[in-house]
Structure 1
Amino acid sequence: MNIPTPHIEAKKGDFAKTVLMPGDPLRARFIAEHYLEDAVLVNSVRQMSGYTGTYKGKRVSVMASGMGMPSMGIYSYELFNGYDVENIIRIGTAGALREDLHLRDLVFGIGACTNSNFAAQYQLPGSFAPTASFPLLRKAVEAAEKREGLHYMVGNLLSSDTFYSDSNLDVNWRKMGVLAVEMEAAALYMNAARTGKQALAICTISDSIVTGEATNSAEREKSFRDMMELALEIAPE
């Protein structure tokens, strides 16, 4: 793949081996400004801000993915294939599908169900099950166990192509034990599988499909620090 890519203007070597990927460019900037030392802006194409700096001595990058599987599919593909990135940790938001998941709880996506046709490109003779990389998942659980007062669950996410839907199918996914709905993890997991790289989705519950509770945009940008800090702690060098 030629560098720069069609969607990333960075030079070879500008990205660390591990990239944290929030959906929101403003969350990427918030992490760079509040957690990374000597952070440098390495991408601003389409305002998808990407930064590289250090966190407790290790080199880490953070870059926005945008919303939805097509956007995540583009950026994670180019990072894995063009910039030699080895690990991508999605740090995004999700809507709870269970009553015992509350605002600001974390969900670690061991798998990502989807209503998308993203996997059709692989021409497989069946359905592919997108899953997280176990080494990253294990590190996340171990780190979460050490954080006092942190409530988290490990299980399936639903990566949906639709935010506004004519059909209310959430109850059917809930019957299958799916914890929360978001819009990017399945594409990330499939790109990681295809390239032999590692990926994990860590999602903060920003709203509840069950109870109607919700956070606002400012809270989603700046207040989900447990997710940000945990991802930075587990990021491989």
Structure 2
Amino acid sequence: MTIHIGAEKGEIAETVLLPGDPYRAKWAAETFLDDVKLVNEVRGMLGFTGTWNGNKVTIQGSGMGMPSLSIYVNELIRDYGAKTLIRIGSCGGMQNSVNVRDVILAMTSTTLSTPSRGIMKEMNFAPCADWNLLQAAAQAAQAKGTPTHVGGIYSSDVFYDERPDLNEQMVRHGILGVEMEAAELYILAARHKCRALAVLTVSDHLLTGEALPSSDRESSFGDMVEIALQAAFPT
């Protein structure tokens, strides 16, 4: 048990899926896992452990933004022995070739700032995904026939961004999508010698203005969860 996670020792799996929304964690656990048990509800940030194809999996909400995710990932790794951490979340598309409902596999994540900035000091550390997870996820997506893009994303530390010039440069340099957590996840995984990946569903588009209505989001996110599970436990 930690300050932010109320699970007992042994209740958290080595493989953890990390949606930002705790209710999305509940939906994913009840939809995809067997023998589901609620293992955390501290501050309403729900976490569940169950099995997928006989493999133990935890799905833990991580909140919005890198500071919140950093708290949960640090505790999951340090206190519960998590080894594989996969973010499953939404993102905004930033290329015309990327459509709403497509899946993005984040090879790298560009950012202005993360909670680890103080450690890195003047260095511009380049956080990236675990290659084996990335490769397995790409293969799983291809097998499912899910429209998928692999490449760089942008992890923003603000939701209401008032820097259109910055977004223009992200688009210009081929960034596929924008979200708010992956860069810190990748840095923490590198620091602690764990595996990490971000599997993201495009829920809205910065160029076209298209967006999924809230009623469609859960059903559209199913492919993302399955791809993440298949990447963690390839057959």
Q: TM-score by structure 2 length?
A: 0.95
Deviations, residues 79-120 of structure 1 (Å, cap 9, x unaligned): 011100000100000000011111110100000101214332
Q: 1:98 aligns to what? A: 95
Q: State yes or no: 1:140 paired with 2:172.
A: no
Separation (CA, whole Å) in 2 of partners of 1:217 and 1:21: 20
Check conservation: 2:22, 2:46, Cα contact below 8 A. Answer: yes
Post-superposition offset of 1:216: 2.4
CA 1:170 to 1:15, structure 2 compared with 1: closer, same or farther past 3 Å?
same
Counterpart residue type for residue 168 of structure 2: V
In the TM superposition, what whole-angstrom CA distance separates every residue of 1:146-177 from its partner, at most 9, and x where no partner exists?
112x1111111100011112221211111111
Amino acid at match of 2:3: P
Cα separation, 2, equivalents of 1:5 and 1:57: 27
Moved beyond 4 Å, runs of 4+:
none
Of the three residues 126, 149, 153, the one matched with 2:149 is 153
Aligned-residue sequence identity (percent) comes to 45
- 1:184 and 2:184 are equivalent in the alignment: no
Match of 1:230 among 221, 227, 231: 227
Per-residue deviation at 1:125? Answer: 4.8
Whether contact under 8 Å (2:137, 2:227) holds in the other structure is yes
Which residue in the other structure is 1:25 paired with? 22
**Shift in CA distance, 193/183, structure 1 to aligned 2, threshold 3 Å:** same
Check conservation: 2:114, 2:157, Cα contact below 8 A: no
2-side partners of 1:196 and 1:233: how far apart? 21
Aligned-pair Cα RMSD in Å: 1.4
Residue aligned with 1:118, SS: coil
Q: Which runs of 5+ in 1 are unaligned?
A: none
Inter-partner Cα distance in structure 2 for 1:120 and 1:210: 30
Counterpart code for 2:142: E
AA partner of residue 11 (structure 2): D
Point out the more displaced range, 104-113 or 119-128: 119-128
Cross-structure match for 1:193: 190
The one of 119, 122, 126 equivalent to 2:123 is 126
User: Is the Cα–Cα contact under 8 Å of residues 52 and 59 in structure 1 kept in the other structure?
Assistant: yes
**Offset at 1:140?**
0.5
